[in-house]
Each structure stands twice: as C-alpha cells, then as structure tokens.
Amino acid sequence: MTELLIAVAFFMIISAMGFALTGVAAPSIRTDGQVNRVIGLLQVARETAITRQRDVEVRIDLEGNSLTVLRHEDDDEVPMSLLVLEGGVQLMQFESLGDTPQAFGNDDAADFGGSATLIFSPDGSFVGDDDLPLDGTLFFGMPDRTETARAVTLTGTTGRPRLYRWLSHGDDSEWVLR
C-alpha cells in the first residue's frame, strides 16, 4: 500500500510540473500555429500564381487581423481564401524589438514600403504597385507578451516567406531564423 501511495504522489508531482510548464508555453505555441497558417497561405498564393500563370493578390487588414487572397482572372478578382488570426494572436509589432536581420522595415505590423498592392506574379516573385520586386515583413504576437513575437519576411525576387522568432537571453536578445 505504501508503494502505491508513493507512486501516486510521484505522479501528482510530475503532473503539476507539466501543467505549470504548459501554461508558460501555451501563448508561444498558439502564436506559432497561427503564423504557420499565414506561411501556408502565402505559399499557396505563390504556387497558385505560378501554376495558373495569373497574378495573386494578398490583402492585409490590420484592424481585422486577417489576410485575404484574390486571384486576378482577366478583369475579375476571384476570392481564394480568407485567414483570420485566432487565439489572441494579432498582426502587431513590439516597437522595442527592432527589425529582423533582413532589415526590410519595421514601421508597421505589415511593412511593405508603403505599397498599396501586394501581388505574387506568375514568375513567383512578390511585387508592389510598380511591378518591381518588393521586400517586406509581417509582425505577429500577443499584446504584452514579447515571447510571442514572430516575423514573416517576404523576399521580392523569390516570393518566399521566412519565419523569425524573438529569443530573449537576458541582455542579449535577437530575431532568430526558424
């Protein structure tokens, strides 16, 4: 009987430690999940532009925390997808964290050099208003939780997204490519 009580007590202690760690990690896990959804959407938009040989536009709504993808067919815009961020994750920027190592800009949660139009072209590149390759960054996180800071950069010439995560090491904090 004593062995059983010791085993149950040991199990309870290990379970309590696991629950405590889960509570700390949950916001980062939720943020990673939402950012992975955004990266998947951007990859599908790029691949659709290439395979359909059509422009595919990405519209970013900072207030609605959403991204909309539209395929351009002649003079029509065909809706492809709408992604709304969930779980408290927002398109937002922590001003104190600075820019990613690619230095595409961090003036806003969605910084694409002021371009109003964001398009994946049929060659796979990401272009702006002037049809020239456009580099930019989307910043994500949860308010007041810098450990959830993430950034997705898009390189105009290739149109490929790259994910960065903010790592804080005391005085030595930095954006790290994932």
Domains and CATH numbers, the chain: 27-177 (3.55.40.10)
92-106 pLDDT, tens digit each:
999 889 999 999 998
Identify the CA nearest to 124 among candidates 159, 152, 98: 159
- The confidence score (pLDDT) of residue 28 equals 93
Percent pLDDT > 70 in the chain is 92
**What residues form DSSP beta bridges with 172?**
169
Q: Is 60 exceeded by the pLDDT of residue 19?
A: no
CA–CA dist 49, 46 (Å, integer): 5
The pLDDT assigned to 20 comes to: 52
Alpha-carbon distances, residue 56 vs 26, 46, 61, 65, 122 (angstroms): 34, 7, 16, 20, 8
**Mean confidence (pLDDT) of the chain:** 91
What is the pLDDT at residue 22?
56
Position 48 pLDDT exceeds 70: yes
The total number of residues shown for the chain amounts to 178
Burial of 15 (0-12, 13-18, 19+ CB in 10 A): exposed
Closest CA to 150 of 128, 170, 131, 166: 166
* pLDDT band at residue 16 under the 50/70/90 scheme: low
